[in-house]
Structure 1
Amino acid sequence: MDINGSSAIVTGGASGIGEAAARQLAAKGAIVIVADLQADKGEALAKEIGGIFAQVDVTNTEQITEAVELAGATAPLRACVNSAGRGAAQRTIGRDGKIESAYNLDIYRKIIEINLIGTFDMTRQAATVMSRNEPDADGQKGAIVNLASVAAFDGQIGQASYSSSKGGVVGMTLPVARDLAAAGIRLNTIAPGLIDTPIYGTGPEAEARKAKLGESVLFPHRLGKADELASMVVECITNSYMNGEVIRVDGGIRMPPK
């Protein structure tokens, strides 16, 4: 699918995997709507790549509506990447036998709301705008890529909420792809492994930690690069025969319990 001259919306687009995807989509000729909470970084990136910044909290359905309508008004919306997300770590129960020490249910709900419901909300709204497009020669109107995680399959100790949310993203892939097929819209999910993004921090200690984590990767023995993830995002969007699939991009890692 050719995205040159189309619009593309990327949530979490101001940094990390989202930023890398935004850059690569812009290089393919798309006008990228950088949808993020970080106005300073988002506006700077949008200016650099010839895109548009939209301040979006993916738990705010009205802000999502504004962003997808902006994208559709700018150019035909043919690509959407759901990269926004966050994690939290806490064991399901505490060590003191007290109910109040069990996993904080408000945190669990928040992670589900951001990572799973936010992804679905953007998917349903972006797909609605895509459905207005004229189909290309292959009958396509658009493509969506959702970011899950290997934690959907190999969740570690303390990752109950994060793994649940990403497992939900994996689980929605095929049924939503089937839903959208009648409208000529494809949907795929990418499950990243350990990717070198700003969440690890900077400096000697951060580099040492990343190097240690990289030792557990089957091959190559390092963290993945955001550009390596973004190239798979672009492939899922532009390869017209990619649909309804979940792809691990993880260097062959299988996460241990902790």
Structure 2
Amino acid sequence: MHIANRTFLISGGSSGLGLATARSLHAAGGYVALLDMNAEAGEAVAAELGTGAGERALFVQTDVSDTESVAAAVKKSMEWVGRTGKALGGVIAAAGVGNPGKIIDRNNEPLPLSSIDFVLSINLRGTLDLIRQVLPHMTQVQPLEPDGERGALILVSSSAAFDGQIGQVAYSASKGAVASLTLPLARDLAQYGIRVVTIAPSLFESGMTAMLGSKVRASLERVMEFPKRAGKPEEFARLVKEGIENSMLNGTVIRLDGAMRMPSKL
């Protein structure tokens, strides 16, 4: 599927992997709706890419854990599509949080359910809610020849879905669920010509990993194979672009990790 003159909704689009993706799709001629909590950053990115009539970027302040906020964001984005006339092309669900914590701490206290709910509601529920609210619009898009394709959903899992670390029970659960739902989601949507591709990155430069201490980062880099560095957001965005353009990519989870496999302890 081509990117130029199609509209893509990107959650978490004003920072990290989502921002790199927005810039990449915009550079390829796409229209990008940035859905993010951070209004200051989102408005700055939209201004950078250009806003207003005839322009190709829109910012909508969105909390993906709040279904009414998601509904309002989808409504505003689709109104924008109506004004521009550039058909919906896909969703990139890049909003996510880490919030590490052991299931039982040193004081024999269990991980608060509120902490688990926080991670699941953004990483898993937020992803599914955004997708389900966009799909009624995507199924109405005029299919493209020769395959009858209507669009692509790009989801974000993590290497933690496969080899999560200590303190990543909630995070691994959320990202493992995203990986697991990829194939059934692709099967649900096959009749509409909508593809699903999930990317599972390892250590990448992002707002989440920026909070890591230098010792933790060094430990992570030591267990990497090649290259021995954190991934660059632009490398993630490159794979998103391929996921959208390559129609044979469907119902699959792609590890983007430089052969990194996390040990049980660093």
TM-score interval (norm. to shorter): over 0.9
Residues 200 and 110 (structure 1 numbering): CA distance in 2 closer, same or farther, change over 3 Å?
A: closer
Q: How many residues are paired up? A: 253
Residues 19 and 147 (structure 1 numbering): CA distance in 2 closer, same or farther, change over 3 Å?
A: same
CA distance in 1, matches of 2:229, 2:105: 33
- Give the counterpart letter for 1:3 in structure 2: I
Matched, 1:76 2:93: no
Pairing 1:85-124 to 2, within 5 Å after superposition: 85-97=96-108, 101-124=109-132
Percent identity for Structure 1 against Structure 2:
43
- Give the counterpart letter for 2:188 in structure 1: D
- The CA RMSD measured in Å over matched residues stands at 1.7
- Give the counterpart letter for 1:64 in structure 2: V
Residues 150 and 201 (structure 1 numbering): CA distance in 2 closer, same or farther, change over 3 Å?
A: closer
SS of the residue 1:79 aligns to: strand
SS of the residue 1:196 aligns to: coil
SS of the residue 2:5 aligns to: coil
Residues 250 and 19 (structure 1 numbering): CA distance in 2 closer, same or farther, change over 3 Å?
A: same
Kept in 1: contact 2:203–2:209 (CA 8 A): no
Partner of 2:2: 2
1:206 to partner: Cα distance: 5.7
- Give the counterpart letter for 1:144 in structure 2: L
- Give the counterpart letter for 2:202 in structure 1: G
1:81 to partner: Cα distance: 0.3
Pairing 1:202-217 to 2, within 5 Å after superposition: 210-217=217-224
CA distance in 2, matches of 1:174, 1:41: 34
1:199 to partner: Cα distance: 3.1
Matched, 1:19 2:19: yes
CA distance in 2, matches of 1:234, 1:82: 14
CA distance in 1, matches of 2:18, 2:106: 38
Pairing 1:122-201 to 2, within 5 Å after superposition: 122-137=130-145, 138-201=147-210
Please identify runs of 4+ aligned residues in structure 1 that moved more than 4 A.
205-209
Residues 200 and 155 (structure 1 numbering): CA distance in 2 closer, same or farther, change over 3 Å?
A: closer
SS of the residue 2:208 aligns to: helix
1:207 to partner: Cα distance: 6.2
Structure 1 stretch 112-121 or stretch 213-222: which is displaced more? 213-222
Deviation digits for residues 39-77 of structure 1 (CA, Å, limit 9, x no counterpart):
111111112123000001001112222222333332311
SS of the residue 2:18 aligns to: helix
CA distance in 1, matches of 2:41, 2:104: 38
- Give the counterpart letter for 1:242 in structure 2: L
Kept in 2: contact 1:8–1:71 (CA 8 A): no
SS of the residue 1:178 aligns to: helix
CA distance in 2, matches of 1:66, 1:226: 28
Partner of 2:41: 41
Partner of 1:67: 73
Superposition TM-score, scaled by structure 1 size: 0.93
Structure 1 stretch 120-129 or stretch 157-166: which is displaced more? 120-129
Unaligned runs of 5+ in 1: none
1:209 to partner: Cα distance: 5.4
CA distance in 2, matches of 1:225, 1:96: 38
1:121 to partner: Cα distance: 0.6
CA distance in 1, matches of 2:118, 2:215: 31
1:159 to partner: Cα distance: 0.6
1:198 to partner: Cα distance: 3.0
Unaligned runs of 5+ in 2: 51-56
